[in-house]
Structure 1
Amino acid sequence: MTGETKGRPVEPPDAGVPLHHRVPDLGALELLLAVARLGSLGRAARTLGITQPAASSRIRSMERQLGVALVERSPRGSRLTDAGVLVTDWARRVVEAAEAFDAGTQALRGRRDSRLRVAASMTIAEYLLPGWLIALRAQRPGTAVSLLAGNSRVVAERLLAGEADLGFVEGLDVPAGLDGAVIGHDRLIVVAAPSHPWARRRTELTAVELAATPLILRERGSGTRQVLDAALAEAGGLAEPLLELASTTAVKSAVVSEAAPSVVSELAVREELTAGRLVEVPVRALRLGRELRAVWPAGQRPVGPARDLLGLTRRVS
């Protein structure tokens, strides 16, 4: 009976040994092909940029691994044995397959690197990302960037759904299911129109007064709202907002029109404060600082354009 024992196939002697222990690596196969092509171990070594002793050692190691002699050496050069001719033919197919594999992975990287999907919370999207993306454009002119602006909760949802490659949020911590890195810091400030009574106060506003006043605020789920809710929890929590708006630009417009004060990112109101369209209202003993973070799905470090953009955030901020 051949090939079977008691009805079961007979396994080859090396069946339990992993393939990478039984098959020479690509470097060794490329060296064997070069010897076959050039007829000299020395010339093959020079072509591949290694020393002749290293090439000899690699051929001997391959012969021990395969259990057959592959190359005969003489003063006139090197020639393949009969077994070496067969192994070289098989090696050529393996190397050609590896070249096809490499070409395919390069095409995949090219496809990946041709686009970048960014999701960012509103303040970062409006006031920081434009500078970062201009710098990325200079570094990667062939990458098309799409930007989704939303609150921090939306950013997390897009990343977890695989609809964004990199995100930016402004909340108190990293959303569940994501990893992140701090890329900067921001401060929330109370602002009012110049005609509002708070703009003419001689004393600092208290946290209790701020908490009890109906304000114009960003919607729940935004990083700004998250930080403000936490900061005023001990002062009784926020009163019912006068207005809840989905963008910082809308909030600023409403405050300038004298509807009510607000709490917004200092980054977002620099121009209005300088021009006198808004006034900062000091608040006593209230910490409203926050960290700005880049975020991505847990366990998946950014690669390609996303990695480059992450690096730029630290240089351009």
Structure 2
Amino acid sequence: MAEQHHNTTHSGNHPAPTHSGGMTPPDTESLRLLVGVAELGSIGAAAAELHISQPAASKRLSRLERQLGLPLLQRTRQGCTLTPAGTMVCDWARQVLAHIDGLMSGVRALRAQQKSTLRVAASMTIAEYLVPRWLARLRTALPDVHLELDVTNSAAVAEAVRHDNADIGFIETPQPPDGVSVRYVTRDHMIVVAPPGHPWTRLRRPLTPTELAATPLIVREHGSGTRETLHRALTDTGTEPVTPLLELRSTTAVRNSVVAGAGPAALSVLAVATDLAEHRLVEIPVADLDLRRPLHAVWRAGLRLTGSAAALLAIATRTD
């Protein structure tokens, strides 16, 4: 089909730059179309290459000429050739498009890497004593997955999954939070511990919940599952804990403070098992106080776990 033809020896028909100091940059598809005309010899062939109609391609190229204020194409019955200005613009366009193609290739690579990244958030006790084993198993099963672990308290874990800052989280609060999907993982047991020589270690009977609640303890910060479990257990017995002796932001800091003789605390047995075996800490029995707590996996509400997140959940819920 013959091309529509007219000479484009434009003179004063092109507008001045659209704003002071420069002009609006052309869009990449128009530049690709210009390069296509140069390589294929006609607007129709270039349009077909880019899967657009010939009339749309002609309008786009005319708009590009007006935008740049330069005649770019010489249209004839035999096809199109580039004007001297069009040849120069086409050479620059090839360079621009090469950089853009490199940019998009890099972006695609980054997006692919993000898809193979698993963002995990876990509360302190779980992160320190359970998650390392789970992630080691996941690494064996999926060696190409990049793992990111955010260690924080249970409240912050729930917020991370709600706002899509973590793909999956693990919490220790006795009551699962609202607004997230929840799956039971396992059960943990907290105990009261004191340093050797503490008066409680000489008791010949279990401590009462009232005595425990009346004693300033070393505790975790608000939002911690460890602290919430203790508080809920005491209030369930009708007692209200007094102001803490120390408030610390990690399980390790609480454990170290108790070992150093600062005072007693309630901690997961996972965190103090070695200290009990090596007599750095003493377990203090407490009568009628249930310090067991479920550990849960949480993720964004309404989302179905797939890929590495689903694999990690399967590992965490295994009983072995």
- Contact (CA 8 Å) 2:220, 2:247: kept in 1 or not? yes
SS in 1 for 2:178: coil
- Contact (CA 8 Å) 1:120, 1:147: kept in 2 or not? yes
Quote the residue 1:310 is aligned against. Answer: 313
- Contact (CA 8 Å) 1:169, 1:223: kept in 2 or not? yes
Matches within 5 A, 1:64-213: 111=113, 113-213=115-215
- Report the more deviating stretch, 293-302 or 209-218: 293-302
- Contact (CA 8 Å) 1:217, 1:245: kept in 2 or not? yes
Quote the residue 2:252 is aligned against. Answer: 249
- Superposition deviation, residue 224 in structure 1: 0.9
- Report the more deviating stretch, 292-301 or 230-239: 230-239
Question: Distance in 2 between the 1:165 and 1:280 partners?
Answer: 37
Quote the residue 1:87 is aligned against. Answer: none
Question: Distance in 1 between the 2:115 and 2:138 partners?
Answer: 12
Question: Distance in 2 between the 1:127 and 1:298 partners?
Answer: 26
- Superposition deviation, residue 210 in structure 1: 0.2
SS in 1 for 2:242: coil
- Superposition deviation, residue 220 in structure 1: 1.1
Query: What letter matches 1:159 in structure 2?
Result: V
Question: Distance in 1 between the 2:200 and 2:305 partners?
Answer: 45
Quote the residue 1:225 is aligned against. Answer: 227
- Contact (CA 8 Å) 1:181, 1:294: kept in 2 or not? yes
Question: Distance in 2 between the 1:108 and 1:298 partners?
Answer: 26
Where do 5+ consecutive residues of structure 2 fail to align? 1-107
Q: Scaled by the length of structure 2, what TM-score is found?
A: 0.64
Query: What letter matches 1:299 in structure 2?
Result: G
Question: Distance in 2 between the 1:187 and 1:303 partners?
Answer: 30
Deviation string 1:227-263 (CA, Å, 9 cap, x unpaired) is 1111111442111000011111000100011111000
Question: Distance in 1 between the 2:317 and 2:130 partners?
Answer: 11
Quote the residue 2:73 is aligned against. Answer: none
Query: What letter matches 1:253 in structure 2?
Result: N
Quote the residue 2:87 is aligned against. Answer: none
Match of 1:292 among 290, 295, 315: 295
Matched, 1:273 2:276: yes
Match of 1:214 among 216, 220, 225: 216
Question: Distance in 2 between the 1:247 and 1:167 partners?
Answer: 17
- Contact (CA 8 Å) 1:119, 1:147: kept in 2 or not? yes
- Superposition deviation, residue 161 in structure 1: 1.4
Question: Distance in 1 between the 2:111 and 2:182 partners?
Answer: 23
Where do 5+ consecutive residues of structure 1 fail to align? 1-105
- Contact (CA 8 Å) 1:113, 1:304: kept in 2 or not? no
Query: What letter matches 2:125 in structure 1?
Result: T
- Superposition deviation, residue 111 in structure 1: 4.3
- Contact (CA 8 Å) 1:112, 1:304: kept in 2 or not? no
Question: Distance in 1 between the 2:271 and 2:180 partners?
Answer: 26
Question: Distance in 2 between the 1:120 and 1:310 partners?
Answer: 13
SS in 1 for 2:193: strand
Quote the residue 1:259 is aligned against. Answer: 262
- Contact (CA 8 Å) 1:114, 1:143: kept in 2 or not? yes
SS in 1 for 2:231: helix
Q: Scaled by the length of structure 1, what TM-score is found?
A: 0.64
SS in 2 for 1:291: strand
- Contact (CA 8 Å) 2:162, 2:301: kept in 1 or not? no
SS in 2 for 1:171: coil
CA RMSD across the alignment: 1.8
